[in-house]
Structure 1
Amino acid sequence: MDINRCGLGIKEPVFHLPSDLQGIQEDFYEHGIAFLKDCDEVKLGQLANQLGEVVRPRNEKTSGTGISNIRYDPSLEGKGYSSEELYFHTDRSGWDLPPRILVSTLKSKSTDGGASMLANTSRILRDIKEQGEDFYKLLTNAKYSSFRSDDGVFVPRPIYDETTGLFRFRFDDGIQLSAAIVIRFPQLFETIYRNSFAVALQQGQGYLLDNHKFLHGRTSFTGTRELLRALVNLPAPKSVVTILFDVDGTLCRSEEMSVDAFYSCLTDVAGKPITHDNTTVSLHGRTDLGLLQDILAFHNVESKTSIAERFLESHPKYLQASLENGFSSIPCPGVKEILEWLALKKENVDSQTLRVGLLTGNSRANALLKIRAAGIETNIFDLSISAFGDTHVDRISLIQDSMKKQRARDGSNLRESKVIIVGDTPLDIECAKKAGCAVVAVASGNYKMDDLVVLEPDHACAKIDECKDYLDSHLNLSVTSVPLNDS
């Protein structure tokens, strides 16, 4: 294993403390991997148990913890217990269903070598498809690969199972490949390398990865290297109901603060006066990124990309300044009541999982600032399934982003009729219906009830707490529908 062959180079990732469960889950579900720091055996065990059911390992470090001690020990079987290079692989690849999560921390660092090698199989599969459909079909057919189970029997399994989304691989005596794949193995290995990156972990650092979607390995090393590892099965998913709230006009109103901050920031970064008065682009229902692009085009501003980057970086500071200068954010009628009711529902719903998130044209920082400035608690919102407008040009992309995050968590259990969008604009209704989601329209923003009802939302109300009965019917009703696709 040669880190110089990694097509994505050597990375210096953002690390999370083991106690930052939400941040870890966000990275895991969005990127397939999260990196840890200041993590010891106790913290590793606590984190693993928070995530699901810990798999009892063959060589448990401390009885009952589920933690393996991966170290140089010639008396133990497996390359993981040697100082040799460890090729890209899936842990427990011979199982019917390998553990979903692998979480580890480096207890002691080697004198030299021992870098972690990581590869996202989503990138690998896209690369393989571009090389030809015949190559891709070799990996998705169980005729061409078999993996050794714990009883020593080789069981035919595809490297990539299109039904489950599980990618399994290894390069040792635990796999048998047909001649058709063996001939193309150098091509496969080069593809894996091209889509891999390396990380030089320090003591107390580690990672939590999706063992169904990420391959991992390490370079050879000298000296003593000790890694603590736990394998975790996620709990079986329940039926899920997800409610995604818009922010402006739905949860709170902060028009004057928003306009002041937006145009003040844009004027400064563009170097020319751009104001609400000299701009005819509509603000309602838009994303920050889409709105920004249209306004820059309207004013014939050059260097749009660099100005947009500077704007999105600076905008939260301007919003905070506008708040401090006396502009306010106020809660929409009934918002606190509906969120308190949903918080109780989350605790009491037995048959289904209830998730509450945000679907907003604001950036994450701005959305949370506006909500908190309105005196609304944000703990109820699951940010790992939320979508924000600083990375998407339109609202349909926001919905697709949230769906992708939910699908990563729930797989085929995600059903589109179980996702409810709550918003106050015609765009909210149109995009939700286009995505196949249920939609609640609330006339607490700039549109009247008649403007919203004509678009035939699933439910419409003047105050947001008037939709309790409708939401309750979804929380108590099992609905079957077609799972969402990735488009």
Structure 2
Amino acid sequence: MALDGVILDIDGTLVLSNDIHAQAWVESFASHGYDVPFEQVRPLMGMGGDQLLPTLMAELSEDQEPGKTIASDHKELVLTKYRPQLKPTAGARELVQALMEAEFRVIVATSASDRELEVMLKVAEVDDLLHETTSSSEAENSKPAPDIVQAALKKAELDPGRVVMLADTPYDIEAAGKAGVKVIAVRSGGFSDEELAGAIAIYDDPADLLHHYDRSPLAQATAV
């Protein structure tokens, strides 16, 4: 398996943010009169707002009120109230450095907005390393649709058969699969091995992947 590049997810993969996102959704829904428990929201982390809103409430859409404001309020809560609680996953920076030293083409693919992405890259302590990114503004539909993965492939001029994606949710795996990309998963997003079963390998977090790097699919590949 020859590889030219690695597509990186951010939330849950490089930043411990999935619980925070879920709590922010709960609060945003509640402020608009919707009682949505944390336990109902948490399994949907990895979806963008355009997918999550109608999944939870069929009548809501990110393009129309009140869904538009609920989605906007969720982002504000994450970036303001919960910003101090955001932390990098173990080994996030070190893994990105290893990927770049191996001369992989590394590009970010996330359902986050440009503003969220800027914050998350700083939290992950990789904002000085990762400059090639794609965000929600470049995809019509968020994960589990393949749009953002396809946008990353196009921007980086990468063949899907010569790329792996590092991600943390079943929606990442589904989106990547639809784009023809294999996934190395990490458990730092809070999903079980059963939920991540479509991945070619599963590690605890970036640090665990780095610790086992020599036996990982990345080391077995040939970077060009």
Please indicate the TM-score interval, normalised by the length of the shorter structure.
Answer: 0.7 to 0.9
Partner of 1:317: 76
- Which structure 2 segments of 5+ residues have no match? none
> Could you tell me which of 464, 468, 471 is aligned with 2:218?
471
Alignment partner of 1:250 is 2:13:
yes
Q: Which one has the largest radius of gyration?
A: 1
Return the structure number with greater helix share.
2
Tell me which residue corresponds to 1:331. 88
The equivalences for 1:351-390 within 5 A come to 354-373=104-123, 375-384=124-133, 386-388=134-136
Distance 1:292 1:314 in 2: 13
SS of residue matched to 1:294: helix
- The 3-state SS of whatever aligns with 2:176 is helix
The letter for the 2-side match of 1:319 is: V
- The 2-side partners of 1:333 and 1:255 are apart by 15
- Look up the equivalent residue of 2:78 and give its one-letter code: L
Distance 1:273 1:460, change over 3 A: closer
Do the aligned partners of residues 276 and 378 (structure 1) sit closer, same or farther apart at CA in structure 2, a change above 3 Å counting?
farther
Aligned equivalents of 2:107, 2:149: Cα separation in 1:
11
SS in 1 for 2:117: helix
**426 and 312 in structure 1: CA distance in 2 versus 1, 3 angstrom threshold:** closer
Distance 2:93 2:62 in 1: 42
Does the 8 Å CA contact 2:14/2:88 hold for their aligned counterparts?
A: yes
- Which residue identity does 1:433 align to in structure 2? G
What TM-score do the two structures reach when normalised by structure 1? 0.39
Q: Which has the higher strand share?
A: 1
Choose which of 36, 48, 51 in structure 2 pairs with 1:287.
48
CA contact (8 A) 2:7 2:165 kept: yes
Residue deviations 1:396-417 (CA, integer Å, cap 9, x gap): 22212223333xxx4xxx3222
Root-mean-square deviation (CA), in Å? 3.3
Tell me: CA distance 1:281–1:448, structure 2 relative to 1, closer, same or farther (3 Å): closer
SS of corresponding position for 1:430: helix
* Alignment size in residue pairs: 216
Contact 1:291 1:393 in 2 (8 A): no
Name stretches of at least 5 consecutive residues in structure 1 with no aligned partner.
Answer: 1-238, 479-487
Residues 130-173 of structure 1, C-alpha deviation per residue, up to 9 Å, x if partnerless?
Answer: xxxxxxxxxxxxxxxxxxxxxxxxxxxxxxxxxxxxxxxxxxxx
Change over 3 Å in CA distance of 1:402–1:307 after alignment to 2 = farther
CA contact (8 A) 2:21 2:78 kept: yes
Distance 2:56 2:82 in 1: 23
- The change in CA–CA distance for 1:263 and 1:435 in structure 2 (over 3 A counts) is same
The one-letter code sitting in structure 2 at the alignment partner of 1:424 is D
- Partner of 2:171: helix, strand, or coil? helix
**CA offsets, 1:47-105, max 9 Å, x none?**
xxxxxxxxxxxxxxxxxxxxxxxxxxxxxxxxxxxxxxxxxxxxxxxxxxxxxxxxxxx
For the residue of structure 2 that corresponds to 1:474, the secondary structure is coil
What fraction of aligned residue pairs are identical, expressed as a percent?
20
Instruction: Quickly say closer, same or farther: Cα 1:473–1:372, change in 2 above 3 A.
Output: same
Shift of 1:338: 0.5
Task: Identify the structure with bigger relative contact order (alpha carbons < 8 Å, sequence gap 6+).
Answer: 2
Cα pair distance change 1:259/1:464, threshold 3 Å = same
What secondary structure is seen at the aligned counterpart in 1 of 2:118?
helix
